[in-house]
Amino acid sequence: MKYLSRHADGRLPRLLEVHPALLIEGVRGAGKTSTASRLAAATLRLDQPPDAEMVANDPEAACASLPGPLLIDEWQRVPTVWDAVRRMIDEDRSPGRFILSGSSRAAVTADIHTGAGRILPVQLRPMTLSERQGVAPIVSLKDLADQGIEAVRGARSAFSTAEQLAATVESGLPGYLGMEQPDHQEALRSYLDLAVSRDLAETTSTPRNTSKLRRYVRAYGAVIGTSTEHAAIHRAASVSKATGETYHDVLSRLGLIEELPGWSNNRLKRLAKRPKRHLIDPALASADHYDTVDSLSRRRPRLGELFESLVVCQLRATAEALGLGWRFSHLRTAGGDQEIDLVADLPDGSVIAFEVKLSRTVGITDARHLTSLRDRLGHTFRAGLVVHPSTTAFRLGDRIAAAPLGTLV
């Protein structure tokens, strides 16, 4: 299978020149092993019994006998290797010695010490639109931060409207690319089945009712892209508050749930704190509810929620892969009179805000919440984008522009 370039490919070698070890984590199937293998001089695969047995018996000897960077794949299957790597780094802090890869938070119950200062975590998420074609985005988010809307004006999406909307039902997990839609969605439902059974066993030693947990996943997927109260999800899944909160924690540790917190800023008062609900990939929710391109064309509200979630997930993935250090949240006033789908706080204290619109035609009225935020923040407001599924980016006003999703990710 041909390797498709990832946004992180340029960053990871630079990190290995500085840090003794990297931890590449992410949900199962995100492409961690393929990406990490391109950087490694040798590999220990702990999902293979011979390697696992050797490492379990004498992890330091097993690691010391191989050249670096040494990839220790599926490290969480032999959790003692973590502390062995940590001790070896304490003895020799040379950069580029180890790469550990494994599913998100899979070994949270393991009795291990922190790797802070020794092992740098890097998240690998499902592929963005550009990554699925092995190319760079038309507009770099770094350029957007540096130049504001001048970075996007006139940019044309490499993806048609249909292709951008189709990504709401087509997953960015590399192993599922190119499947026919019925097979694709069936595979994604099986992926979720396995995530709440096999992967769950790696996350917690406490037995769980997997059928109830699976029901909770389906209920959660029905409300992605919204700020639905958790109590409503509990009711839809027919679980108690305590059980629902436990399930929420489990799915967060598995990396399937990744919510967007409410934004806080001392210049704006009475901001709502309830998070917006998101999965790591909105196509998982689409598959679980049998949403297709055809059915969503007749259910615009659902399509709008899925498209918003797609924009959030893909911008998050791109910014994180590039190491930009952006912190994401959403803005909603307590009275609901102002709402912005995604707010990025930049390391220099400035803000870039994104409003998601499903319409192919965008005007200044669609940017009214961005305009209001610009006026209230002043020079701190770097840029505001109305993200839509059309083809061309253009200026709407001072520091405000419309930009197709396909130009940014």
Percent of the chain with pLDDT over 70: 93
Domain boundary residue, one of 89, 107, 123: 123
pLDDT 10s digits, 120-156 = 999 999 999 999 998 899 999 999 999 999 999 999 9
SS (H, E, C) 156-210: ECCCCHHHHHHCCCCCCCHHHCCCCHHHHHHHHHHHHHHHCCHHHHHHCCCCCCH
Long-range contacts of 45-50 (CB under 8 A, 24+ apart): 45/73, 45/74, 46/72, 46/73, 46/74, 46/75, 46/77, 46/78, 46/81, 47/73, 47/74, 47/77
What is the per-residue pLDDT across 199-222, written as a single tens digit (0 to 9) for each? 666 655 555 678 899 999 999 999
Could you tell me the two tokens for 66?
A: 């191989």
- 8-state DSSP, 280: S
The whole-model pTM stands at 0.92
Average pLDDT, integer, range 372-394? 96
Residue 204: predicted pLDDT: 59
Q: Which residue has the higher pLDDT, 292 or 116?
A: 292
**How far apart are alpha carbons 3 and 194 in whole angstroms?**
25
Through-space distance between the first and last CA atoms of the chain, rounded to whole angstroms: 23
Q: Which of 25-29, 77-81, 243-247, 326-330 has the highest mean pLDDT?
A: 326-330
Q: Do 301 and 209 belong to one domain?
A: yes
Query: Tokens standing for 370?
Result: 């961005």
Average pLDDT over residues 9-35: 95
What count of other Cβ atoms lies within 10 Å of the Cβ of residue 20? Answer: 24
Q: Do 133 and 192 have their domain in common?
A: yes
Q: What is the pLDDT of residues 302-339, one digit of tens each?
A: 999 999 999 999 999 999 999 999 999 999 987 777 89
149 and 72: one domain? no
Residue 137 falls inside a structural domain? yes
Phi and psi torsions of 404, nearest 5°: -65, 145
Mean pLDDT within 68-88: 94
Strand partners, 98: 21, 70
Residue 11 sits in a domain whose CATH number is 3.40.50.300
167/408 Cα distance (integer angstroms): 14
Chain-centroid distance of CA 102 in Å reads 15
Domain end, chosen from 107, 123, 139, is at: 123
How far, in Å, CA of 198 to CA of 200, rounded? 5
**Does residue 2 lie within any of the structural domains?**
no
User: CA 10 to CA 71: how far, in whole Å?
Assistant: 18
Spatial CB neighbours of 225, under 8 Å, sequence gap ≥ 6: 276, 277, 278, 282, 304, 305, 306, 307, 308, 309, 312
> Which range of residues forms the domain containing residue 396?
129-408
Of the two residues 268 and 288, the one the predictor is more confident about is 288
pLDDT at 205: 56
* pLDDT value for 115: 57
What is the model's pLDDT at position 101? Answer: 94
Does residue 87 share a domain with residue 36?
yes
Calpha distance 282→188 (Å, rounded): 11
Q: What is the pLDDT of residue 109?
A: 44
Write out the two tokens for 135.
């190319």
Q: Which of 226-235, 257-266, 271-280 has the highest mean pLDDT?
A: 226-235
Where b means 16+ CB within 10 Å and e means fewer, 279-295 reads: bbbbbbbbbbbebbeee
Is 70 among the domain residues? yes
Q: What is the mean pLDDT of residues 190-196?
A: 91
Q: Give the end of a domain, one of 98, 123, 148.
A: 123
For residue 1, is it within any domain? no
